[in-house]
Amino acid sequence: MRRSRPLFIRMRILQVVPYFSWESGGPVRVVYDLAHELAKRDNEVVVYTTDVGPLHRLNEREKIQLDSRIKIHYFRCVNNWIAQKWRLQLSGQMVSAFRSSTKDFDIIHTHEARGFHNVCVWHYARKYGVPYVFQAHGALPTALEQQAKTFVLAKYLSDTLVNRRVVRDAAKAIALTQSEALLYEQLGVERNNVTVVPNGIDLSQFEELPARGEFRARYNIAGDEKLILFLGRIHKTKGIGLLLTAFSGLCQEVDNVKLVIVGPDYGYLARVKEDIKHLGIADRTVLPGPLYGNAKLEAYVDADAYVLPSSYDMFPLSPIEACACGTPTIVTNRSGVADAIERVGCVIDYDAGQLQSAMHAILTNAELREKMKRKGPAMVKERYDIVKIVDNVEKLYRACI
């Protein structure tokens, strides 16, 4: 039996995420900002993850550094290829850590919809009577049109054998949106056990933005050229093919326009390069690869418009970051942040013609651009300040304890 602890003292919190490198996408940024804000409040925060990387096992230089108040454990995965191909981050070291230390925590917060790490949390949290919070980060759907049938089958088997039990046994499930909350309920989670908490961002990183022109100078983009920016994983679901088609049409209407596609390759870069060549827009397209930290902010600041035309995206952070930088933003109505962006930017159907028209309107209407630049940062501060978000997460933790 675990000894009870008064709720007014600091909590001992374990964050569990199957991967932890900047190339791995939005959930990593969420865990990073959440851990830092919780630690600022004098909570004891520990992160369990594996050394899985997008292309190879992470080396020491590629591992994310947290401040000294937060302990992070990168456990060795059995096989990096298996981890990436089947999203199965197996780690004997992680099992040993759960076996020996689960009872030392007051609350566990596990991230991502499926995975070996969730099974570990589920088993040892129940064994030692420690409540856990489950957060799927938009990955609950079993089948998406872009995914291979074998991968969909693997997810179905995972859900049938264990994942539904993992989700249902959680003290609380965190949904990013109301639509994701409905997905939890379809899995059998009681409605009062689902709490909607959107992702937040650390606004301090946007207080002093880079000077305009740094990114353009680095990639030889002239100051009078219009710049369309995509920043995210190079993956089919991100709608880059749609963007290239729309941009090709835009080039017939607007002179001096460049498209910059920033992000790590998730198996779709070769197709992107083929499409660029086929459409004849190679001289108007820049592919810098992934950018992080200040380099990423430089790209946002220098862009005349940011575009994320996803075919499915439960809660992408990049449109929120773009708005925080004052960059006019376009997303599709298939994005989980469409309702927020609609207030300050442009929301379109998943349609190349609409995307072309939206980009044209922003690039040719200075008054519209200035309006979006003013409204974006205020909206982000109101809805997505990490301080406000963690207020809600901390209350949820204490309710579970």
Which pTM was predicted?
Answer: 0.87
Q: Is the pLDDT of residue 146 over 60?
A: no
pLDDT score at 148: 59
Q: Which residue has the tokens 């992160």?
A: 47
Residue 51 corresponds to which tokens in the numbers above?
């050394």
pLDDT score at 142: 63
- 204-383 — its CATH code? 3.40.50.2000
Q: What is the pLDDT of residues 270-325, one digit of tens each?
A: 999 999 999 999 999 999 999 999 999 999 999 999 999 999 888 999 999 999 99
pLDDT score at 114: 87
pLDDT score at 144: 55
Question: For the residues 78-90, what does the mean pLDDT come to?
Answer: 83
pLDDT score at 86: 72
Question: For the residues 205-233, what does the mean pLDDT come to?
Answer: 96
pLDDT score at 145: 54
Among 303, 343, 346, 355, residue whose Cα is nearest residue 327: 303
pLDDT score at 40: 94
Q: Is the pLDDT of residue 207 over 80?
A: yes
pLDDT score at 238: 95
Q: Is the pLDDT of residue 75 over 50?
A: yes
| CA separation for the pair 110, 98 (Å, rounded) | 13
Per domain, the residue ranges of the chain are 12-200+385-400, 204-383
Task: Please give the share of the chain, as a percent, with pLDDT higher than 70.
Answer: 93
Higher pLDDT residue, 328 or 89? 328
Do the domains 204-383 and 12-200+385-400 match in fold? yes
Q: Is the pLDDT of residue 6 over 50?
A: no
- 12-200+385-400 — its CATH code? 3.40.50.2000
Residue 55 corresponds to which tokens in the numbers above?
């292309």
